[in-house]
Structure 1
């Protein structure tokens, strides 16, 4: 297949070659015959099979889904312009400013991969989980296999989705802050049908959500205490902070424990366990 017929594959190989393992938080094991990420490394970061990535690069598969395109863009740390090129090469509509964006800037992605000592995750304006680090997965279970509808904090908080039950307990201040975030998202993206569907769905399922939404409740995020239960460590009491990204609607959630505390020791145990789990 000629290069002109395989723009997507050529682009993926070029972007993969320019990314070093350390850029994305990986250790460079053994000698490398070529610069950049190995196919299996990129596949793991993007949550796709190595075989599927080979097919994309060789032009045997040329139409990834929008979700896979977004995952590849994040894994390759593409900027907004490069992400648009990726979507175009894949025959996908470029995400417009009319919908809640899921693009994670390279600087934020580097921050996530380098903060190995803390569970860290990035959420979109509608509080859908976009990306996370290894310790987040170790603490909460790997979200990669869950559909996006099961990775939304609004649903989890007001509809008690089992996948998030150990993360977000009842907290009126947190509920009001989430409502305020959702109102801001609706103002910023009034044409986003998925966002409106989310509000309608949760409103139908949760009287609590309806009451807060209709009352005009508002709040802001403050450091909160989350008590979690993990099969390897038992109970952990962690501080949860929500950080914002200038010029973006993204939310970064970070869990920490007091230095030298039993909870810090349990968190370190999980970090080491996660490293041994993912290292060949």
Structure 2
């Protein structure tokens, strides 16, 4: 436990908050900015004396429950929450669920990528948002019911979804999907979303069950993917995966190398594909 750093972090967290930020009345004029110690203590459900000793680097090591209460009282972000735990010598708790809420900043980035296919997915494979080029490449996923937006489920249970990949790529693509899902399920063992998806696919797909039993583990990363597009033909695209740790979201961007046939076909897709936005099989 780093008492001095913990004390400094708590003081700075308290100083940046106003009473209105935590639902308190402004009250009398304050000599210094921020909340009072007794206000933070009350919000966290602890004695003012105990909190004061923490800020003075002389308090006992707080429990995990107390750290959680302090993080909530000080309105800490996920990164700050984890930092608080580390300063107290504790391992931060796992975040067991992935949010389907997409931050406006990520949506803005998605829209700015006007000439390359890009989509936001969660780590279980559910598509959360697409730009126009992604819809032209793999179909308008967001127009489907939510259950049909999961790329892993569609790949193993919908033969049409596989038609977007050359047949010789099916096996490595399947392995990558299963290995990633195993990593997600292990990281969030109490989350019903990955556990339920695994149970469903093990029951419904012999291929998935076979690959799952091989116990390969890997996270999504940069790769080259081939798409067999019905309008422009075969596309060799570099797949870049950027991770937003806050909500387990992935920004997946597909690009073609300038000077290649795939680059020319991707430019063609931008012209003709955007005119043909009828839903079809989807891939990720």
> Is the TM value for this pair above 0.5?
yes
Task: Give the direction of change, closer, same or farther, for the CA distance of 1:171–1:245 in structure 2 (3 Å limit).
Answer: farther
CA spacing shift, 1:163–1:211, aligned 2, 3 Å: closer
Give the unaligned 5+ runs of structure 1.
1-79, 81-96
Aligned-pair distance for 1:227?
Answer: 2.6
- Per the alignment, residue 143 of structure 1 pairs with 141
Unaligned runs of 5+ in 2: 1-77, 79-94, 278-284
Corresponding residue number in structure 2 for 1:256:
255
Q: Does 1:155 align with 2:153?
A: yes
Inter-CA distance 112–123: structure 2 relative to 1 (3 Å threshold) = same
CA drift of 1:275 comes to: 5.9
Kept in 2: contact 1:239–1:257 (CA 8 A): yes
Aligned residues: 184
Is the partner of 2:199 in helix, strand or coil? helix
Deviation at 1:99, TM superposition (A): 3.6
Q: Do the aligned partners of 1:123 and 1:252 also contact (CA within 8 Å) in 2?
A: yes
Query: In the superposition, relative to structure 1, how do residues 193 and 253 fare at CA in structure 2: closer, same or farther (>3 Å)?
Result: same
Q: Deviations over 1:121-164 (max 9, x none)?
A: 11112111110100001112212321222221212333344245
Shift of 1:273: 3.8
With over 3 angstroms needed to count, the CA separation of the structure-2 counterparts of 1:232 and 1:174, relative to structure 1, is closer
Q: CA RMSD in A?
A: 3.0
Equivalent of 1:112, from 110, 113, 137?
110
Alpha-carbon spacing, 1:197–1:246, altered in 2? closer, same or farther (3 Å): closer
Match of 1:216 in 2: 215
The normalised TM-score by structure 2 is: 0.55
Task: Say whether 1:197 aligns with 2:196.
Answer: yes
1:176 is displaced (CA, Å) by 4.1
The one of the two structures with greater contact order (alpha-carbon pairs below 8 A, sep at least 6) is 2
Matched residues in 2 for 1:179 and 1:157: separation? 11
Q: Is the 8 A contact 2:183 2:217 kept in 1?
A: no
The corresponding residue for 2:163 is 165
- Which protein shows a greater Rg? 2
Structure 2 residue aligned with 1:134, among 132, 135, 153?
A: 132
